[in-house]
Structure 1
Amino acid sequence: MKLARFTEQGRTRIGKIEGDRIVDLSAITGDNHSMRRLLNHYRDWLPALQAATGPMFALSGVTLEAPIADPQKFLGIGMNYRQHAEEARQAGIPIPESQLWFNKQVSCITGPFAGVVKPAVSDKVDYEIELGVVIGQRCRHVKAADAADVIAGYLIVNDVSARDWLQKSPTFTLGKSFDTHGPIGPWLTTADEIADPQDLQMSLYVNGERRQHWRTSDMIHTLYQQIEYLSTVMTLEPGDILATGTPSGIGAPTGRFLQVGDVMRLEIDGLGFIENPVIADCAQEVMP
């Protein structure tokens, strides 16, 4: 299934994608539109989710929201593609000897077609296409051989990065966590629909020009090794998002950073696409 959060006439709910339409699942989920909550009940609700047939809306008439708006964790791994690691090495960044993880604050999450803000305080905003893994059950000390069992599904992640702010924070957190710098979507594709997540084609375009084009088979640490490594340290929860690394072709090596008005389109086999315009910062905005 392809499970989505969508807004129609001001009401947000959960649905499943059927071609160019979306089936409202509110009869099963109620008024609660937390995908994390759905994942906690997924096994019990699965027959009803599969059988649901309506109400139904045209995708063109709804707004797709971030599939998971309230994860407890949004974690990313750095330099996990061989060519990208070599790209970084040539720029003077040493290749890590072990998995290099960082935190993206969950407040950076935004929708699959929402605007990405170019902060007024950053001149080096960059794009990164990544395969996102969504955890489906509470787990700890998972062996790589068993890791597929704890994956609920997959989505596309744009790990937008403010490169100048990465240099200010050795943990990467600040440079990875500006508001809107975590577009995800367009929906959660359940794991049963992806035969081999380690052999998917990924492509990212800026204003129609292809900048990144690679396959997930180039990962240094597989999805399953990543889950084993992380679950050695922490309990993973349903809805947690793991951004599993980006291939070569980012803007940093050439200085081709994002500008206001640019449009990013990200595509991954079997997962659809997301598209995000770069918009100006409202730096003086006062939050209520």
Structure 2
Amino acid sequence: MKLALFQLPGDAIARPGLLTDAGVIDANAIVPAAHSPQARMEGWIDAFEALRPALQSLLDHGSALPLEQVRLLPPLPRPGKMLNCIANYWEHAQRDVRPLNMFLKNPDAVIGPGDTIELPEFTVPWAFMHEAELAVVIKGPAKRVTQKNWRNAVFGYTCLIDVTARESGRATWPNKPIASWLGKSFDTFAPLGPCIATADEIPEPNDLHVQFWNNGELRHNYNTDDMEHRVPAIVEFASTIMTLKTGDVLSCGTNHEGLGFLQDGEIVEISIQGIGCMKLNVSDPLKRSWERGVYMGVDSTHPDAVRRYRPTHPA
């Protein structure tokens, strides 16, 4: 199933729904109420197995509202934690595995389908870039999860765009360096959605096609099989450091092939096989501009074809 949050026209209430090819089916009568949209989604995740028969009946017999008649919201409007992998993909001629490493991204940066990525109003970062990523949604509490039982901690998957401010590789503030997580944590820098695809919808998260378009130009175009450290290792690593709770998000990093700039007036779209697609707008009050297209610098080469750089026998 694909779990979503949405709003009806003229209604400020975030309603739970099942996303289908025909639209969204309202599940408001089935999913227990809560004090916030995030809490309601967390409660839905925790109670999912008990609710599954009623949800399946709704999916089989309910009528869907066309997507043009509703507003989809981020399925997790304010995750408790967002941990993102740094890089984590085999790229170019690389043949030595790098250590697994992660950073915390600001949960308040989350926005959803149809929303606007707003570039911040200061001039120090020389560029703002997109990183299309597979994100894991946790069912907790989960602590010291092993790679053998990693599925016990995973509820499902969603799409995430890790928007990044960079200067000479990383963002800086006047006279002081900004750590990676700050350059990635401005408001609106964590588009998430359009839904949570439950784990049974994604039997193998390390064999999914990830794509990203900017104004219709294909940029990211890769397979999650190229991860240096695969989803079980990411879950094990993160849960060794901290207790993961229901609704937390682990983002798996990006393949930097096809990296490019974001700038005012653009429309961007992310799509991950088995999960879905979402479009967003980009706004820059300063109307800055950079070269358009794929950035042919140290990170990117060519996005036109899906390549697998993963060694046959990685270290």
* Root mean square deviation, CA, Å: 2.2
Structure 1: segments with no counterpart, 5+ residues: 87-94, 283-288
Structure 1 counterpart of 2:143, from 137, 140, 143? 140
Map 1:178-257 → 2, pairs under 5 A: 178-251=186-259, 256-257=260-261
Note the residue ranges of structure 2 that are not aligned, 5 or more in a row: 287-315
Counterpart secondary structure, 2:30:
helix
Give the match for residue 2 of structure 1. Answer: 2
Note the alpha carbon deviations across 1:256-275, whole angstroms, 9 max, x for none.
42110122111111111111
Tell me, yes or no, if structure 1 residue 37 matches structure 2 residue 39. Answer: no
Residue aligning to 1:14:
16
For residues 232-263 of structure 1, what are the alpha-carbon distances to aligned partners after superposition, in whole Å with 9 as ceiling and x for unaligned? 11101111111101012254xxxx42110122
Q: Paired residues, what number? A: 271
Instruction: Say if 1:25 and 1:239 are closer, same or farther in 2 by CA, change over 3 A.
Output: same
Letter in 1 for 2:116: G
User: For the residues of structure 1 that align with 2:262 and 2:92, how far apart are their CA atoms?
Assistant: 19
1:124 corresponds in structure 2 to 127
The 10-residue stretch of structure 1 (185-194 or 77-86) with the greater mean CA deviation from structure 2: 77-86
Letter in 2 for 1:124: A
- The aligned counterpart of 1:27 is 29
Q: For the residues of structure 1 that align with 2:26 and 2:72, how far apart are their CA atoms?
A: 13
Higher percent of residues as helix = 1
**Aligned-partner residue type, residue 82 of structure 2:** F
Identity percentage of aligned residues: 33
Cα distance in 1 between the residues matched to 2:92 and 2:233: 19
Query: TM-score when scaled to structure 2?
Result: 0.80
Q: Is 2:74 aligned against 1:66?
A: yes
Quote the residue 2:277 is aligned against.
273
Q: Give SS of 1:29's match.
A: coil
Q: TM-score of the superposition, structure 1-length normalised?
A: 0.87
Tell me by how many angstroms 1:97 deviates.
4.0
Note closer, same or farther for the CA distance 1:172–1:275 as it changes in structure 2 (3 Å cut): same
| Residues 1:219 and 1:167: Cα distance change in structure 2 (over 3 Å) | farther
8 A Cα contact 1:103 1:176, kept in partner: no
